[in-house]
Structure 1
Amino acid sequence: MIDEREKYDGMAARIEAEIADSLDEELEMELDDDRLQKLIDGKEQSDSDSALDRKVYFQELFRLQRELIKLQDWVVTQKLKVVVLFEGRDAAGKGGVIKRITQRLNPRVVRVVALPAPSERERSQWYFQRYVPHLPAAGEMVLFDRSWYNRAGVERVMGFCSDSDVEEFFRTVPEFEKMLVRSGITLIKYWFSISDDEQHLRFQMRIHDPIKQWKLSPMDLESRRRWEAYTKAKEAMLERTHIPEAPWWVVHADDKKRARLNCISHLLTQIPYQEVVRAPIALPDRVHNPDYLREPVPDDMYVPANY
Structure 2
Amino acid sequence: MLQQSETLLTKDIKRSKRKPERRERRWLRGLTPYLLLLPAILFLFLFFFAPALFNFLLSFQRVSFFDVAKGGAWIGLGNFVSILQDPQTLLSLRNTVFYLTIGTVLLRLILGLLLALLVNSSALKRWRLTGIMRTCFILPWAIPPVVAIAAWKWLLDPQFGVINQLLLSVGLVKEGIPFLVQTTTVWYGVIAIVVWRELPFVIISVLAGLQAIPGEIIEAARVDGATRLHIFRFITLPLLSPVLLTVGWLTTIWTYNNFVFVWLTTRGGPGNFTQVLGTQLYNTAFIDYDFGKGAAVGVLMTLVMVIFSTLYYTFIFKGRVGQT
TM tier relative to shorter chain: under 0.3
**TM-score (norm. length: structure 2):** 0.23
More helix by share: 2
Instruction: Flag the structure with larger Rg.
Output: 2
More strand by share: 1
